[in-house]
């Protein structure tokens, strides 16, 4: 499984958890924590969970369908190229119009190539065929057609700038194969049949035909294919002239059909490879950001964050500015275990980790202050000044603040001392913390006082 497919697996699991709630992952955490970067830990966790949910098989099926789709496109290109080559050779008895051959062989290709340039240079990542495909798959997902893997793949591609180069490579390869088959078909027919050619026109003079042929033949001339003279373009009864014109037609098809598509495909392929090399998982996404602490190995979790070697003399107990009603419970940078259900009976705000989440919580509390705030703290994580100041600000917005230290981790004593300095009531027993949050007395005899 390559890096892009690993990102697709992660996106599938992330979407599943956002829609259906967190998955039970205790059985995979140990394996995920072995990895040396947060990105790899998140991906390993997602891969292990996807295997148990059956998503990995769905992704393998998606890869198979993708290969079948590419094969089908290749077959269509071969058939279309053969048909295009045959369509210009309408008769061996009548002279073939050179200008008409160019129109048929290069007209649709030229229009589509210009459209691709416009979308590539003038639109965002969602433009062109890739953007329309992403919109279609998004709409199908809203209608619950069961294509979560396809949606995840297109989401990852669009988010990381892969959609445009990937669709460009597919489009150009399709046209390369089509035009190559058309060229081979023409060459085979020219090899075994006799055709005559003539620049048929009603309004163009000989001088204008000469000028146009020189413009068209400029690039083939760089490859050693000279431009036919006006006599060769207008004469159709000489075998040598027809042979020169037929080679010139094939050279024009290569130079203005296959060559620009080949160059564009190579550029887009390099663009795609560079974008894939720079793939980086966004660890701040909903459904991923809260996993980082849980996936951090215990030895790493115990590292002091924002450590202060001096006593935090600036930390003082905050004086309550408001006394509200009811309770509020949340976890500070620590995700609740999926099988823990004490919060079913409490008003829970979930996990508060980022600065934005802290600011939002403060605003909510200011508009409707609770009487009691209970903060769940993982004692395996070190106390930092930012978290302590955040708790100080909470003290001023409620009637009473309590801290529930979860697990007897490496920094249990550090948390106890730091919270005691700002007079936060401490709990280490689940039932006592819950009873206090519910407003029941008799739980103040724990390890701290208020």
Report mean pLDDT in 10-residue bins for the chain, 450 residues. 87 83 78 86 89 82 83 90 83 74 83 81 55 50 55 85 89 93 90 81 85 89 86 77 87 92 94 90 82 66 44 47 73 60 64 83 86 86 82 84 82 84 82 80 42
Asked if residue 41 belongs to a domain, the reply is yes
Asked if residue 420 belongs to a domain, the reply is yes
Which of 211, 242, 277 is the last residue before a domain boundary? Answer: 277
The token pair that represents 322 in the structure block: 């408001």
Alpha carbons 288 and 221: distance in angstroms, whole number: 58
- On whether both 134 and 29 belong to a single domain, the answer is yes
String of DSSP letters for 224-238: T-PPPPHHHHH--S-
- On whether both 150 and 253 belong to a single domain, the answer is yes
Q: How confident is the model at residue 143, as a pLDDT?
A: 40
- On whether both 64 and 182 belong to a single domain, the answer is yes
Q: How confident is the model at residue 101, as a pLDDT?
A: 83
Q: Where are the beta strands (DSSP E) in 37-174?
A: 96-97
The token pair that represents 253 in the structure block: 């098809």
Asked if residue 250 belongs to a domain, the reply is yes
- On whether both 75 and 180 belong to a single domain, the answer is yes
Task: Please identify which residue in the block is written with the tokens 């050779």.
Answer: 89
Asked if 213 and 228 count as a contact pair (C-beta separation under 8 A), the reply is yes
Asked if residue 318 belongs to a domain, the reply is no
Asked if 163 and 157 count as a contact pair (C-beta separation under 8 A), the reply is yes
Burial state string for 324-334 with b = 16 or more CB within 10 A and e = fewer than 16: beebbbbbbbb
Task: State the total domains in the chain.
Answer: 2
Q: How confident is the model at residue 264, as a pLDDT?
A: 93
Asked if 318 and 393 count as a contact pair (C-beta separation under 8 A), the reply is yes
- The CB-based long-range contact list for 230-234 (8 Å cut-off, 24+ gap) reads 230/206, 233/98, 233/197, 233/198, 233/199, 233/209, 234/198, 234/199, 234/206, 234/209
Q: Taking the CB of residue 13, how many other CB atoms lie within 10 A of it? A: 25
- CATH code at 369? 3.40.50.261
Q: Taking the CB of residue 184, how many other CB atoms lie within 10 A of it? A: 15
- On whether both 136 and 266 belong to a single domain, the answer is yes
Asked if 342 and 434 count as a contact pair (C-beta separation under 8 A), the reply is yes
Report yes or no on whether pTM surpasses 0.85.
no
* Residue range(s) defining the domain that contains residue 88: 3-277
Asked if residue 79 belongs to a domain, the reply is yes
Asked if residue 307 belongs to a domain, the reply is no
Q: How confident is the model at residue 342, as a pLDDT?
A: 54
Asked if residue 341 belongs to a domain, the reply is yes
Which of 277, 301, 318 is the last residue before a domain boundary? Answer: 277
Q: How confident is the model at residue 177, as a pLDDT?
A: 94
The token pair that represents 109 in the structure block: 């290709």
Alpha carbons 153 and 8: distance in angstroms, whole number: 5
Asked if 387 and 343 count as a contact pair (C-beta separation under 8 A), the reply is no
Length of the chain: 450
Asked if 176 and 265 count as a contact pair (C-beta separation under 8 A), the reply is yes
- On whether both 262 and 346 belong to a single domain, the answer is no
Asked if 49 and 28 count as a contact pair (C-beta separation under 8 A), the reply is yes
Closest by Cα among 137, 165, 164, 136 to 11? 137
Q: How confident is the model at residue 339, as a pLDDT?
A: 39
- On whether both 94 and 193 belong to a single domain, the answer is yes
Alpha carbons 345 and 327: distance in angstroms, whole number: 10
- On whether both 101 and 243 belong to a single domain, the answer is yes
- On whether both 273 and 331 belong to a single domain, the answer is no
Please, which residues have CB within 8 angstroms of residue 82's CB and are 6 or more apart in sequence?
181, 182, 185
The token pair that represents 131 in the structure block: 């953007």
Task: Please identify which residue in the block is written with the tokens 């496109």.
Answer: 73
- On whether both 241 and 373 belong to a single domain, the answer is no
Which of 277, 293, 316 is the last residue before a domain boundary? Answer: 277
Alpha carbons 152 and 438: distance in angstroms, whole number: 42
Alpha carbons 382 and 384: distance in angstroms, whole number: 6
What does the pLDDT look like over 302-348, one tens digit per residue? 444 444 444 444 445 455 455 667 888 888 876 555 334 455 556 77
- On whether both 152 and 254 belong to a single domain, the answer is yes
- DSSP H or E stretch at residue 427: strand 425-427
The token pair that represents 151 in the structure block: 């949606």
Q: How confident is the model at residue 189, as a pLDDT?
A: 86
Q: How confident is the model at residue 170, as a pLDDT?
A: 92
Asked if residue 296 belongs to a domain, the reply is no
- On whether both 368 and 269 belong to a single domain, the answer is no
Alpha carbons 199 and 102: distance in angstroms, whole number: 11
């Amino acid at each position: 499984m390559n890096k892009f497919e690993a990102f697709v697996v992660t996106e599938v699991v992330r979407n599943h958890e956002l829609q259906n709630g967190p998955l039970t992952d205790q059985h995979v955490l140990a394996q995920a924590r072995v990895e040396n970067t947060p990105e790899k830990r998140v991906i390993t966790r997602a891969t292990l969970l996807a295997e148990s949910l059956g998503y990995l098989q769905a992704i393998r099926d998606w890869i198979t369908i993708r290969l079948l789709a590419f094969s089908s496109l290749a077959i269509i290109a071969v058939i279309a190229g053969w048909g295009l080559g045959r369509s210009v050779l309408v008769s061996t008895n009548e002279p073939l119009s050179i200008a008409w051959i160019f129109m048929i062989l290069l007209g649709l290709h030229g229009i589509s190539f210009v459209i691709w340039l416009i979308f590539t240079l003038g639109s965002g990542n969602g433009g062109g065929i890739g953007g329309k495909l992403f919109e279609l798959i998004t709409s199908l997902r809203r209608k619950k057609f069961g294509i979560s893997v396809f949606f995840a793949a297109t989401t990852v591609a669009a988010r990381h700038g892969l959609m445009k180069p990937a669709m460009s490579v597919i489009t150009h390869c399709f046209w390369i194969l089509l035009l190559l088959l058309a060229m081979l078909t023409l060459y085979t027919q020219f090899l075994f049949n006799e055709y005559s050619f003539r620049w048929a026109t009603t309004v163009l003079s000989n001088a204008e035909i000469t000028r146009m042929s020189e413009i068209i033949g400029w690039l083939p001339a760089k490859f050693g294919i000279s431009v036919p003279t006006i006599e060769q373009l207008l004469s159709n009864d000489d075998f040598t002239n027809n042979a020169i014109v037929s080679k010139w037609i094939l050279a024009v098809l290569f130079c203005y059909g296959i060559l620009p598509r080949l160059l564009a495909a190579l550029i887009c392929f390099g663009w795609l490879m560079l974008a894939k090399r720079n793939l980086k998982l966004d660890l701040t996404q909903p459904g991923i950001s809260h996993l980082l602490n849980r996936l951090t190995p215990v030895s790493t979790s115990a590292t002091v964050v924002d450590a202060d070697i001096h006593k935090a003399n600036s930390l003082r107990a905050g004086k309550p500015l408001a006394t509200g009603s009811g309770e509020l419970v949340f976890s500070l940078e620590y995700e609740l275990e999926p099988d823990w259900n004490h919060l079913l009976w409490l008003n829970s705000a979930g996990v508060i980790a980022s600065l934005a989440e802290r600011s939002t919580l403060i605003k909510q509390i200011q508009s409707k202050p609770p009487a009691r705030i209970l903060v769940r703290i993982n004692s395996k994580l070190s106390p930092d000044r930012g978290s302590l100041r955040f708790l100080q600000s909470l003290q001023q917005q409620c009637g009473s603040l309590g801290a529930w230290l979860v697990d007897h981790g490496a920094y249990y004593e550090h948390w106890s001392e730091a919270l005691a300095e700002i007079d936060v009531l401490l709990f280490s027993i689940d039932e006592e913390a819950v009873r206090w949050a519910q407003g029941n007395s008799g739980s103040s005899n724990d390890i701290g006082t208020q």
